[in-house]
Structure 1
Amino acid sequence: MKINQVAAQMYTCRAFLQSPADIAKSLKKIKEIGYAAVQMSGQCQIDDHELCKMIEGEGLICCATHESPDMILKTPEAVVEKLNNLKCKYTAYPWPQDIDFGSEDDVAGLIKGLDAAGKVLADAGQILTYHNHHMECRRLNGQVILERIYDETNPAYLQGEIDSYWLHYGGCENVSWCNKLSGRLPLFHMKDYMITDKNEITFAEIGNGNLSFKDIIPAAEAAGCEWFIIEQDECPVDPFESLKISLDYVAENLCDLPVAMV
């Protein structure tokens, strides 16, 4: 992993993205911290071309987005247009909205919808990925649902955006999932997992938690990961400071590690 492959998930600082002026200020801060790229998510309504101009004006790349579940499944053509406007190749289905993972019909319907939407993006030269939380790690009829999502979709239509925190929270193992998705993992959400002094689970800056990124990152890179995206759902300090702490740790400890053998 090279430092220019590391991006900031803007959802981390979503409270500072609620007007176009605030988006511009936030992108400037992200560039000053040292990030090369951003994944856009959590911002207010803004014209795509205006947003693209802001991103490029700071010398940043829009490496990926998160779009709404409904938009992806119901109007994937609109996703294609938005990605084109942002000069972006990747998006992710961010959250299984209104999906009952105890229902075979719901799970099968989601899988079918993802495959169909992914085909629309693939035909346009773009890639749909799946962003997991912990609930996809539950079993339905004896099989882990996240496995079904990938097993029952065409790799050309759906690829992976593993979230390290949520995968671990769900009881699955990051390195083994990187191996499972070899050749199918363009995006990886770096998010650390911490136990507080009150014995509570929470999010942490990279390096301040318990996840073994020195093992995880080489495995993700071996799987073909293009973008390593730092995200922190909740921050104990200013979110820009958390993003800086994470990037500083990554730059010092995780770049240029030997790629794992799989």
Structure 2
Amino acid sequence: MKTLPVAVQVYSVRDDAEKDFRGTMKKIKEIGYDGVELAGLYGKEPSEIKAAIEEAGLVAVSAHVPFQELVADMEGTIQKYVEIGVKFIAIPYLMEEDRPGTPKFEGNVKLFEEIARACKAHGIQTLYHNHDFEFAKMPDGRYALDYIYDTIPADLLQTELDTCWVNVAGEDPAAYVRKYTNRAPVVHLKDFHKEGKPANMYQLIGTDVEEQESHGTFEFRPVGYGDQNFPSILEASIDANAQWVVVEQDQSIGRTPMEAITLSRQYLKEQGW
């Protein structure tokens, strides 16, 4: 059976990485991961980050780089990740004022293309990492997520489909991965359990949001321990010609983040990955 290399989003173990980046990289390798996706540099120089990843025997696959940082200093920000040697830079998240349905959104899509052109000039492929708010409908009925990919050429912007948020939005993650065949080089594997209609899911990813009345529960879980159908998602990732899958767990309940990413890796090994 064909499989893909498995990376982990360092945000999953951010407190460990903050305290001991080098040691955390070594643990990630010991657990059985092939690579990492960065989310911040923890006050370290790019050369230190690169050295720690290489010493651990990992690949620096990609990096989540805040949209605001890229807009504020495009060349300077990209250059840090050129030095680290990532293949992909992902636009990870939009603040409420930047999202679909706001006056800024269409201008932001133009900025995504500008970022993508700047990354391409340095040999880095730009990705867009979705949540569920990109599944808001545009005036013509298209999802905003599809609008982004329809508007920006595929050679400039490719997908990093977060399979958790695709599911939360009411779509089939495997079908969505296949929809972007040859444009989905990195697929995010994220599991969750949801009951009813919970509010404040974004508080769980570390985002400040206004308190709302909740009518259910939502929690992130290790891959294979929640509601997702991972055999179908993994098969779709192969069919779509993905290059990497990346485990991400924004918050861990009842176990340490390191224990959670260990369980995720063990589950994938049980699937033959």
Structures share a fold, TM > 0.5?
Answer: yes
Corresponding residue SS for 1:7: strand
Please, which of 53, 56, 59 is the counterpart of residue 58 of structure 1? 56
Q: Which runs of 5+ in 2 are unaligned?
A: 197-214
**Does structure 1 residue 231 correspond to structure 2 residue 248?**
yes
Corresponding residue SS for 2:171: coil
**Aligned CA distance change for structure 1 residues 247 and 196 (closer, same or farther; 3 Å):** farther
Structure 1 counterpart of 2:38, one-letter code: M
C-alpha separation in 2, matches of 1:152 and 1:216: 26
1:111 maps to 109
C-alpha separation in 1, matches of 2:93 and 2:53: 25
Deviation at 1:87, TM superposition (A): 1.4
Corresponding residue SS for 2:164: helix
Contact 2:40–2:65 (Cα < 8 Å) also in 1: no
Structure 2 counterpart of 1:49, one-letter code: S
Deviation at 1:215, TM superposition (A): 0.9
Deviation at 1:32, TM superposition (A): 1.4
After the TM superposition, which of the residue ranges 72-81 and 126-135 deviates more from structure 2? 72-81
Contact 2:70–2:78 (Cα < 8 Å) also in 1: no
Show CA shifts across 1:199-240 (max 9, x none): 522111111111111111111222121110001011121111
Q: Aligned-residue CA RMSD in angstroms?
A: 1.9
2:224 maps to 207
C-alpha separation in 2, matches of 1:254 and 1:37: 17
After the TM superposition, which of the residue ranges 24-33 and 78-87 deviates more from structure 2? 78-87
1:259 maps to none
C-alpha separation in 2, matches of 1:199 and 1:151: 35
Corresponding residue SS for 1:8: strand
Structure 1 counterpart of 2:29, one-letter code: K
Deviation at 1:148, TM superposition (A): 0.5
Please, which of 71, 75, 78 is the counterpart of residue 76 of structure 2? 78
Deviation at 1:196, TM superposition (A): 6.6
Q: After the TM superposition, which segments of 4 or more aligned residues of structure 1 sit over 6 Å from their partners?
A: none
Q: How many residues align?
A: 251
Please, which of 55, 66, 69 is the counterpart of residue 68 of structure 1? 66
Deviation at 1:2, TM superposition (A): 3.0
Scaled by the length of structure 1, what TM-score is found? Answer: 0.90
Contact 1:188–1:225 (Cα < 8 Å) also in 2: yes
Q: Which runs of 5+ in 1 are unaligned?
A: 256-262
2:181 maps to 182
Structure 1 counterpart of 2:184, one-letter code: L
C-alpha separation in 2, matches of 1:137 and 1:61: 32
Deviation at 1:113, TM superposition (A): 0.6
C-alpha separation in 1, matches of 2:77 and 2:166: 26
Contact 1:69–1:94 (Cα < 8 Å) also in 2: yes
Show CA shifts across 1:78-114 (max 9, x none): 24312221111101001013314222x4221111110
Structure 2 counterpart of 1:159, one-letter code: Q
Identity of aligned residues (%): 27
| Aligned 1:95-244 pairs, distance under 5 A | 95-97=93-95, 98-103=97-102, 105-141=103-139, 142-195=141-194, 200-236=217-253, 237-244=255-262
Please, which of 261, 265, 268 is the counterpart of residue 247 of structure 1? 265
**Aligned CA distance change for structure 1 residues 249 and 125 (closer, same or farther; 3 Å):** same
